[in-house]
Amino acid sequence: MKRAKKPKQEKYTVSRKRLKEMCDEQVEKAFLLMATAAADEMDLNDDELVAIAQRAARYAGYIDDHLIRMNQVSKTLEEKTGIKWRW
């Protein structure tokens, strides 16, 4: 009886620049998904949604100052919903 051969794995090379572009696209989609869900859930108007986006951009600028708060939010969400957020 012959042993089954493992299928060959194809190797792909992605440039660092393209990898960054792909990551950026996914982060943008994830943010838009969360912003849309928040707007729907909390019935936010355009001005409120813009304020949240501006605050998030500000937080991204000084993320180290907010790591403790982000940890708290992450733990709360995991405890209450079972959803684990990675960042």
Residues 6+ apart with CB under 8 A from 29: none
Structural domain contains residue 54: yes
DSSP-assigned letter for residue 62: T
Domain of residue 50 covers 16-81
Distance CA 41, CA 37 (A): 6
pLDDT in tens, 6-36: 888 888 888 999 999 999 999 899 989 999 9
Residue with tokens 């959803």: 83
Residues 6+ apart with CB under 8 A from 83: 77
| 43 φ/ψ sector (left φ>0, alpha ψ -120 to 50, else beta) | left
Model pTM? 0.59
* Total number of domains constituting the chain: 1
Structural domain contains residue 26: yes
